[in-house]
Amino acid sequence: MPASPSVILDALRGVRDPDLHKDIVTLGFVKNLAVDEGRVSFTIELTTPACPVKDQMRDQARELVSRVPGVTEVQIEMTAAVRTSAVGEGTRQPVPGVKNVIAVGAGKGGVGKTTVAVNLAVALAQMGSRVAMIDGDIYGPNVPMMLGLDTQLVADEQGRIIPAEAYGIQVVSMGFMTNDDSAVIWRGPMLHGAIQQFFRQVAWRDVDYLVVDLPPGTGDVALSLSQSVAVSGAIVVTTPQKVSLSDTRRAVRMYQKLNIRTLGLIENMSSFECPSCGVETDLFGRGAGEDLATEMSVPFLGRLPIYRPIRIGGDTGRPIVVEEPNSAAARAFRAVAEQAAAQVSIASYNRVIPLTPVR
């Protein structure tokens, strides 16, 4: 006796999204279900192309449906449709053409924040997401160099800035508007105006994730961002040293007070593997970033190693996820990108933004 669509859906209720903690039928992920005699076909539409368990979910779905009496063939198409996670409120409004704004910050300089932001953005694009990037570090705009971009921005017929492009991501930066050795000396209102222009006067094209590289510390740019843009959340980069962790704690508290969800912490420069002997050394310690995430009840997105080609890639405009995609470092960046995308999906599902500020 041929299987019915209702029986197939009942079987698929056994596949659960590990982040959203519900089955894929309840979540509405199952699309285009068709049953023709014993042949069953359907689509599983996930909330991000960067889902870290999409292969496992596909395999589990195939196994469960194959067990249904009368089923002789199972065809599954895996797709994704990124949802918006940030909710506009008051002066904090969504960015036209953008679904999610992800701020990447750090409590102090020198922790590799921009390197992490660039590789995170490129990794998300490599996995099929539509990605853009704002170089919000107005005082030290290094994103163009790290992406190998040397250009000047132009405007379209409506007067909107047309972003530059590299490695599949759309990019704007103050670095496109100044000479490499020009000092940017601006007060708060000028910074606010520049940030507003990057968000509101750029022709962003159907962006799933807009990654914003913030200046280090807890200054004006983060405040301007929180006042005017509906932000999906912030990722905070730290290293394992105590001095970095102390500043990281302050950065997380700042985002909480600004009603910006902390998507997670990343521990950068977590370990170093000697290229000659293969011995792994924790130059700056190890695990303190995860401990801090646990202490502050925020997600831990992963560890990134010290690896000389990461620095070389930043200097030459060839991110490690492009230059050495099969390296352990590149795999670590992709794992972090998957976890970040998962946290955005959770925020989208729960609609927990804005949060109650810490007093």
pLDDT in tens, 175-208: 776 655 555 444 444 555 777 788 888 999 999 9
Please state whether beta strands 39-46 and 30-36 pair in parallel, antiparallel, or not at all (unpaired).
antiparallel
Helix axes 188-200, 220-228, angle to 10 degrees: 50
Measured distance CA(145)–CA(347) in Å, rounded: 32
Provide mean pLDDT across the span 25-37. 94
Q: Where in the chain is the domain with CATH 3.40.50.300?
A: 98-350
Tokens 């979540």, residue located: 27
Say which residue, 288 or 30, is predicted with more confidence: 30
| 11, 168, 237, 256, 266 from 163: Cα distances, Å | 46, 12, 26, 31, 28
Model pLDDT, residue 279: 57
DSSP H or E stretch at residue 86: none
Model pLDDT, residue 92: 74
Measured distance CA(209)–CA(232) in Å, rounded: 9
Is it the case that residue 246 has pLDDT exceeding 50? yes
Is it the case that residue 119 has pLDDT exceeding 80? yes
Q: Where in the chain is the domain with CATH 3.30.300.130?
A: 5-80
DSSP code for 167? T
DSSP code for 207? E
**Beta-ladder partners of 103:** 212, 234
- Token pair, residue 87, equals 């909710």
Say which residue, 17 or 223, is predicted with more confidence: 17
Residue 175 CB contacts under 8 Å (≥ 6 apart), including other chains? 135, 141, 142, 143, 144, 145
Model pLDDT, residue 356: 38
Provide mean pLDDT across the span 210-227. 78
Q: Which CATH number fits domain 5-80: 3.30.300.130, 3.40.50.300, 1.10.3190.10, 3.30.420.40?
A: 3.30.300.130
Is it the case that residue 161 has pLDDT exceeding 70? yes
Burial of 132 (0-12, 13-18, 19+ CB in 10 A): buried
Radius of gyration of the chain (CA): 22
CATH of domain 98-350: 3.40.50.300
Provide mean pLDDT across the span 207-216. 92
Model pLDDT, residue 243: 74
Question: Tell me: the pLDDT tens digits for 279-320?
Answer: 566 655 566 788 889 899 999 999 999 888 999 999 999 999
Model pLDDT, residue 93: 81
What whole-number percentage of the chain has pLDDT above 90? Answer: 54
Interior angle at CA 62, CA 59 and CA 68, nearest 5: 145
Please state whether beta strands 161-162 and 154-155 pair in parallel, antiparallel, or not at all (unpaired).
antiparallel
Say which residue, 78 or 194, is predicted with more confidence: 78
Closest CA to 103 of 236, 266, 205: 236
Say which residue, 181 or 149, is predicted with more confidence: 149
Is it the case that residue 346 has pLDDT exceeding 70? yes
Measured distance CA(305)–CA(166) in Å, rounded: 24
Model pLDDT, residue 281: 61
125-129, 172-176, 267-271: which is most confident:
125-129
**Beta-ladder partners of 41:** 34, 75
Measured distance CA(329)–CA(12) in Å, rounded: 36
Question: Tell me: the pLDDT tens digits for 256-285?
Answer: 888 889 999 999 988 766 666 665 666 555
Model pLDDT, residue 1: 60
Average pLDDT over all residues of the chain: 86
